[in-house]
């Protein structure tokens, strides 16, 4: 025999179907809740408790809710008993009062009619996503303003906060998920759904990533940049940089990037803050193919994985201070972050050996644990970088 809890759960699962019927102007009532009609228990007290449990929320007892139809059936242990053979909601009011959705349904009816009136193209989306209409119940006036603007101006080529739409300044940024779904329905011919970035998908200007770098050649800095050595510029500008750079050192860790302040002059050399996996943005910098590239990351699983990723873009990249000698000298038994990445490997044999060793033991040697004096000495002795005398 069905229980009161099962009736509640099955009724709630039919809620989206009910909302869809409102849009289609159809009906799902009477709405039958299927249940087990057999009864095999032998305790009369238990039988009475179960009957009382399912009847307490019935329309007969509360004036709304589900109706129960009984039939006299001979049970195996209790003889003839009146058992529920059908549980159903006669009408919409009984159903929504039972699942406590009266006010929510009122708002839904107002919103879906408003949406269809202003944006009829969204009918299919509403039918497929009635619960999202409810999730955004208080936002539809603003959502529709944005939709109407893009319908008339499908290629704005403006920044989000430049758009002449009378909504809160942060509204579009805070509702990109639902707006993306709506705009793909309204202006599909002007969108690029393969773009995961909202701005790129809908012909908006995007704030560019900045590339932070330091110039280690004081003569180059004085000649071209009025002595400025620490810069952050948009990626598009960095891609077209025309300075006479012959060597680029990419550093993963911000602390080590700041340590670069103490590095001696290196002719035609810059240091870039790679910022972990954000390094993927640098694959667009084609002039990297014509310079010496060094990558310096933490000696941990992620450091080698990022090195491998960067080398997949630029095969001529050499690692810097990511070797077994450095690791054995300065490792302090620090634990790393376990990795589950199974990457296509672009490490050389020595790097691969150390990577597997630290990965299996979950070890980490962070860049900042390596003394600056050792870094400078290594740059000069092991990597043959031309360091000017101070």
DSSP letters for 19-83:
HHHHHHT----SEEE----------HHHHHHHHHHHHTTBHHHHSSSBEEEEEEEEETTTEEEEE
Confidence band for 383, pLDDT divided at 50, 70 and 90: low
Q: Tens digits of per-residue pLDDT, 227-265?
A: 999 999 999 899 999 999 999 999 887 666 666 555 667
Taking CB atoms within 8 Å and a gap of at least 24, the contacts of 157-166 are: 157/203, 157/204, 157/205, 158/204, 158/205, 159/204, 159/205, 159/207, 160/199, 160/204, 162/205, 163/204
All residues at 6 or more sequence positions from 326 whose CB lies less than 8 Å from its CB, including other chains:
299, 365, 370, 374, 378
Model pTM?
0.64
Give me the pLDDT at residue 25, please: 93
Q: Tens digits of per-residue pLDDT, 66-120?
A: 999 998 888 777 888 888 889 999 999 999 999 999 999 999 999 999 999 999 9
3-state secondary structure of 319: strand
Residue spans in the chain of domains classed CATH 3.40.1360.10: 210-381
Q: Tens digits of per-residue pLDDT, 115-136?
A: 999 999 999 999 999 999 999 9
Q: Tens digits of per-residue pLDDT, 329-375?
A: 999 999 988 987 877 789 999 999 999 999 999 999 998 889 888 88
* Domain 210-381: assigned CATH number: 3.40.1360.10
């Amino acid at each position: 025999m069905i229980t009161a809890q099962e009736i509640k759960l099955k009724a709630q699962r039919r809620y989206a179907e009910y909302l869809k019927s409102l849009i289609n102007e159809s009906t799902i009532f009477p709405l039958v809740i299927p249940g087990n009609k057999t009864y095999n228990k032998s305790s009369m007290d238990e039988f009475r408790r179960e009957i009382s449990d399912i009847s307490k929320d019935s329309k007969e007892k509360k004036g709304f809710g589900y109706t129960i139809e009984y039939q006299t059936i001979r049970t195996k242990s209790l003889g003839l008993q009146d058992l529920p053979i059908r549980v159903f909601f006669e009408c919409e009011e009984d159903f929504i009062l039972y699942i406590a959705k009266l006010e929510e349904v009122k708002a839904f009816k107002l919103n879906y009619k408003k949406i269809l009136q202003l944006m009829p193209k969204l009918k299919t989306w509403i039918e497929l996503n009635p619960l999202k209409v409810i999730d955004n119940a208080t936002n539809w006036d603003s959502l529709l303003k944005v939709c109407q603007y893009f319908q008339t101006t499908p290629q704005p080529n403006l920044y989000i906060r430049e758009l002449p739409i009378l909504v809160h300044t942060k509204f579009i940024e805070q509702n990109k998920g639902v707006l993306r779904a709506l705009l793909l329905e309204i202006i599909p011919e002007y969108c690029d759904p393969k773009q995961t970035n909202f701005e790129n998908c809908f012909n908006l200007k995007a704030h560019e990533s900045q590339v932070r770098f330091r110039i280690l050649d004081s003569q180059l800095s004085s000649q071209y940049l009025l002595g400025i050595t620490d810069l952050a510029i948009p990626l598009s500008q960095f891609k077209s940089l025309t300075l006479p750079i012959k060597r680029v050192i990419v550093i993963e860790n911000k602390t080590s990037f700041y340590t670069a302040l103490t590095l001696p002059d290196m002719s035609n050399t810059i240091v870039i803050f790679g910022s972990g996996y954000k390094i993927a943005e640098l694959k667009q910098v084609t002039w990297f193919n014509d310079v010496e590239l060094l990558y310096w990351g933490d000696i941990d699983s992620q450091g080698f994985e990022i090195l491998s990723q960067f080398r997949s873009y630029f095969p001529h990249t050499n690692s810097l201070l990511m070797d077994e000698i450095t690791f054995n000298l300065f490792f302090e038994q620090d634990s790393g972050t376990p990795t589950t990445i199974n990457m296509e490997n672009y490490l050389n044999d020595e790097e691969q050996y150390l990577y597997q060793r630290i990965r299996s033991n979950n070890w980490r040697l962070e860049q900042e644990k390596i003394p600056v004096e050792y870094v400078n000495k290594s740059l000069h002795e092991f990597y043959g970088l031309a360091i000017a005398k101070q």
